[in-house]
Amino acid sequence: MERLIGKKAPWFSMEALAADGEHFTRVSLSDYEGKWLVLFFYPMDFTFVCPTELTAFSDSRERFAQAGAELLCVSTDSVYTHLAWQRNGLGKLGYPMGADQTLKVCDSYGVLLEEEGVALRGLFLIDPEQKVRYSVIHDNNIGRNPDEVLRVLAALQTGGLCAAGWQAGEETLHPQIPEQLPAVGAAKDVPVQIYTMPTCSYCRSVKEFLRDAGVAYQEFNLEHDKAGQAFMKDRGYTGLPVTVIGGEEIVGYDMPRIKAALGLG
């Protein structure tokens, strides 16, 4: 199977039972643009392992919402079977259940068991730019743990290097830049601050660029930092990130201006 990590997520559009558990709708990849998506496949309705993990994700949906992530589960059952299951034993989940009756979505994500016409337990984290950042596919006898998915999601959202067993709130790894490889051009002499949110993919991209260029910066996490929140409010900024380079305030993902301000253009 062709790798998906780092690539644009395969397009999908399919019928679904809506999050309210009462109405039918359609879901497509474009519905989740600008958000993190937890897309997970399971083999079929009215089985044994599946309800344990579907309800576990349901119980954790507020934590996923706080992390800026949407949930979408998919099987090859029809929306009518999804509805019957929720009304007869499963209960309402609070997130949509996709119905991939054509098998095309399962196939494009590499989880289709062709001989059975059902999906393996595949799970994919898709970032706000709709790139696949994480995937795991395993045997259908084993259910998944939402806590581990939340841990990986939090790690991806740091934009940094996370050690084995890393937990949300812990420091990421900060490799030392070798002394024989100083920052390029004027960048090393320019004070840099960056105002970010954990769920912002543009923020992560700018930070990665600064690190790769050897540029030290001070980060203000707008989720918690009061001074950073006041800065944004006073100036009326809504775009992210805001990168301040030597007094120049650059709003949004404007890499040409950032490079020029650092003398790296």
pLDDT in tens, 91-121: 999 999 999 999 999 999 999 999 999 999 9
Give a yes or no: residue 198 inside a domain: yes
- 193 and 132 within one domain: no
Please state the rounded mean pLDDT for residues 154-158.
90
- 191 and 88 within one domain: no
Give a yes or no: residue 85 inside a domain: yes
- 254 and 129 within one domain: no
Q: How confident is the model at residue 175 (pLDDT cuts 50, 70, 90)?
A: low
- Coil, strand or helix: which one is 255? helix
* Lookup: tokens for 134: 């994480």
- 144 and 44 within one domain: yes
At 199-220, the pLDDT tens digits run 888 898 899 999 988 899 999 9
- 87 and 28 within one domain: yes
Given a cut of 50, whether residue 28 has pLDDT beyond it is yes
Q: How confident is the model at residue 182 (pLDDT cuts 50, 70, 90)?
A: very low
- 189 and 154 within one domain: no
pTM for the predicted model, two decimal places: 0.68
- Residue 225 in contact with residue 192, Cβ under 8 Å? no
- State the chain's maximal CA–CA distance in angstroms: 67
Range name among 30-44, 69-83, 124-138, 154-168 with the lowest pLDDT average: 154-168
Angle between helices 255-262 and 201-212 (to 10 degrees): 30
Mean pLDDT of the chain: 90
- 77 and 197 within one domain: no
CB atoms within 10 A of CB 227: 8
Examine the residue annotation and report whether 50 is marked as an active-site residue of this protein: yes
Give a yes or no: residue 1 inside a domain: no
- 240 and 136 within one domain: no
Residue 159 confidence (pLDDT): 84
- The number of domains in the chain is 2
Give a yes or no: residue 69 inside a domain: yes
CATH code of the domain containing 138: 3.40.30.10
Q: How confident is the model at residue 184 (pLDDT cuts 50, 70, 90)?
A: very low
- 150 and 24 within one domain: yes
The residue range of the domain holding 89 is: 13-158
- 92 and 197 within one domain: no
- 193 and 85 within one domain: no
- 139 and 246 within one domain: no
